[in-house]
């Protein structure tokens, strides 16, 4: 918008070009080591009934390494397709 105003000579220059974006710190990624994963998998055996969906999600996350957003966005029909859209079954 400001670039157009400067182009049309409504402003002497685009003042937004001089703005520097703020520097952000990259968050430190934390993950489970092998022993913690084994302990988590062993404790998942206690989940039954309605909580079984959490067991499936956690196991899928551990063994596939998908990101949280990808895991949340999965639907049941996704399990039948590979990355090219071909059916496994």
- What is the pTM (predicted TM-score) of this model? 0.50
- Predicted local confidence at residue 78, as pLDDT: 53
Is 5 within the bounds of a domain? no
Contacts of the segment 12-21: beta carbons below 8 A, 24+ positions apart: none
Is 69 within the bounds of a domain? yes
pLDDT digits (tens, 9 = 90+) for 30-62: 888 999 999 999 998 888 888 888 888 888 888
Query: 71 and 57 in contact (C-beta within 8 Å)?
Result: yes
Residues near 58 by Cβ (< 8 Å), separated by ≥ 6? 40, 44
Q: Given a cut of 50, is residue 89 above it in pLDDT?
A: no
In order of 12, 19, 31, 78, the CA distances from 53 in angstroms are: 60, 47, 21, 16
77 lies in which domain range? 29-89
**Rounded CA gap, 73 and 20, in Å?**
34
Q: In the chain, how many domains are there?
A: 1
Is 13 within the bounds of a domain? no
**Rounded CA gap, 70 and 20, in Å?**
32
Is 81 within the bounds of a domain? yes
Is 54 within the bounds of a domain? yes
**Rounded CA gap, 48 and 28, in Å?**
34
């Amino acid at each position: 918008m400001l670039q157009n105003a400067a182009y049309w000579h409504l402003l002497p220059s685009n003042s937004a070009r001089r703005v520097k974006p703020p520097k952000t710190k990259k968050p430190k990624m934390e993950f489970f080591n092998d022993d913690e994963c084994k302990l988590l998998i062993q404790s998942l055996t206690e989940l039954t009934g309605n909580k079984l969906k959490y067991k499936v999600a956690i196991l899928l996350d551990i063994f596939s390494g998908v990101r949280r957003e990808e895991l949340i966005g999965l639907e049941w029909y996704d399990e039948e397709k590979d990355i090219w859209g071909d059916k496994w079954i």
